[in-house]
């Protein structure tokens, strides 16, 4: 099986042909391990077609719709607290919000902008969708968004129900990876299916979990011929019903309840805003092994970095510059090089650690 660390340490060794004839991307996933990936142009097209197919199931024309985006985009300096908190793009068919400016004081401005724009689709991180809906409910405001499509984090059933009530919206959730080795989707809570033909999915027994079983997903992407990853250990756990056939689940014939462990890695600003895109901080930094973000207090964040052999002051400066794009100036950031990351009692080293219950709420 192929470990993430093998790809991280020598990414170009897994690329077929010229790197120039490919789409490039960088990710740190949910583990803080920075990774460079290359994608064939045909696989980029197929990925979009897979998403378009989901929208079409909800009567959205993939070639002609207005989208509002509530994800982790950097469109505004965190220190700038004055509106607007959004920009238009794509010929004014996209309204892109700065989610790191969303809080109780700004939610009305967000809601007014969304209402004026009248999107047919809201593209959102689940954590930010939840925050937006909770703030709307507290303000007594409701909106109407025909379809909401989520990805990149676990979408809890409670958030499904909350969004349906506050936004009168139909939801789609899909699971994918930057490495393009698996794709799953759901139109209802606890009813995910792998997309047949996208990948070959192996589910390796991991642990029992009450009436369900947990399996580690080892996936082989079938579409990205520029960087084909074979038997790639994703690090993600799949929960399936105890009486379900893992082989049938892997082929997309039988649904499964959820992907475990892909929760939103966010920080909490002093004003209560949830700060997203924290996994972007180590992107583009090649000389680190892993990174961990520890929020001690609302105004204090520590970046723990396990350095690689070539780690320099330039790498340190890049990490801090990336952090400044995500965090407001009233949050103090320190960077520490360490030999080991902090671990939980279960032995895991999560990417984001929030010390107090107030921050985790």
pLDDT recorded at residue 189: 95
pLDDT at residue 171 above 50?
Answer: yes
pLDDT recorded at residue 346: 46
For residue 313, how many other CB atoms are within 10 A of its CB?
Answer: 7
pTM of the model: 0.79
Contact between residue 178 and residue 145 where contact means Cβ atoms under 8 Å apart: no
pLDDT recorded at residue 154: 83
Phi, psi of 219 (to 5 degrees): -125, 145
Give per-residue pLDDT as tens, 237-279.
899 999 999 999 999 999 999 988 554 467 889 988 888 778 7
Residues whose CB is less than 8 angstroms from the CB of residue 346 and which lie 6 or more positions away in sequence, other chains included: none
DSSP assignment of 259-298 equals: EES-----EE-TTSPEE--GGGTTTT--SEEEEEEEEEET
Domain ranges of the chain: 4-39+177-260, 47-175, 267-360
Give per-residue pLDDT as tens, 42-81.
999 999 999 999 999 999 998 889 999 999 888 888 888 8
Average pLDDT across the chain, whole number: 90
Helix (H, G, I), strand (E, B) or coil at 131: helix
Give per-residue pLDDT as tens, 126-169.
888 988 998 999 999 999 999 999 998 888 898 999 999 999 99
pLDDT recorded at residue 243: 93
Percent of the chain scoring above 90 in pLDDT: 62
Percent of the chain scoring above 70 in pLDDT: 94
Give per-residue pLDDT as tens, 331-346.
999 999 998 888 765 4
**CATH no., domain 47-175:** 3.40.50
Could you say which architecture CATH assigns to the domain 267-360? 2-Layer Sandwich (3.30)
Helix (H, G, I), strand (E, B) or coil at 238: strand
């Amino acid at each position: 099986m192929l470990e993430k660390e093998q790809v991280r340490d020598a990414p170009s060794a897994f690329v077929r042909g010229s790197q120039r004839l490919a789409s490039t991307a960088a990710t740190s996933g949910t583990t803080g391990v920075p990774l460079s990936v290359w994608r064939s142009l045909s696989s980029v097209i197929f990925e979009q077609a897979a998403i378009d197919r989901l929208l079409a199931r909800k009567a959205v024309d993939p070639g002609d719709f207005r989208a509002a985006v509530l994800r982790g985009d950097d469109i505004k300096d965190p220190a700038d607290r004055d509106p607007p908190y959004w920009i238009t793009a794509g010929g004014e068919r996209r309204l892109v919000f700065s989610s790191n400016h969303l809080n109780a004081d700004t939610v009305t401005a967000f809601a007014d902008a969304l209402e004026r724009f009248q999107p047919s689709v809201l593209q959102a991180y689940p954590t930010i969708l939840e925050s937006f809906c909770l703030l709307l409910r507290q303000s007594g405001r409701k909106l109407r968004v025909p379809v909401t499509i989520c990805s990149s984090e676990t979408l809890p059933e409670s958030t499904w129900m909350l969004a349906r009530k506050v936004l009168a919206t139909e939801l789609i959730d899909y699971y994918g990876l930057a490495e393009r080795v698996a794709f799953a989707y759901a139109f209802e809570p606890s009813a995910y299916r792998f997309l047949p033909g996208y990948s070959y999915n192996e589910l390796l027994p991991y642990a029992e979990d009450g009436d369900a079983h947990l399996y580690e997903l080892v996936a082989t992407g079938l579409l990205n011929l520029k960087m084909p990853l074979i038997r790639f250990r994703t690090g993600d756990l799949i929960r399936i019903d105890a009486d379900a056939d893992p082989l049938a689940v892997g082929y997309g014939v039988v649904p499964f309840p959820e992907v475990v462990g892909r929760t939103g890695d966010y920080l909490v600003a002093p004003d209560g805003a949830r700060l997203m895109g924290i996994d972007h901080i180590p992107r583009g930094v090649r000389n680190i092994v892993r990174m961990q973000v520890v929020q001690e207090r609302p105004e204090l964040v520590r970046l723990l970095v396990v350095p690689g052999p070539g780690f320099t002051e330039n790498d340190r400066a890049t990490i801090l510059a990336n952090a400044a794009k995500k965090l407001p100036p009233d949050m103090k950031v320190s960077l520490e090089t360490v030999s080991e990351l902090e671990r939980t009692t279960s032995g895991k080293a999560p990417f984001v650690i929030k010390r107090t219950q107030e921050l985790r709420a």
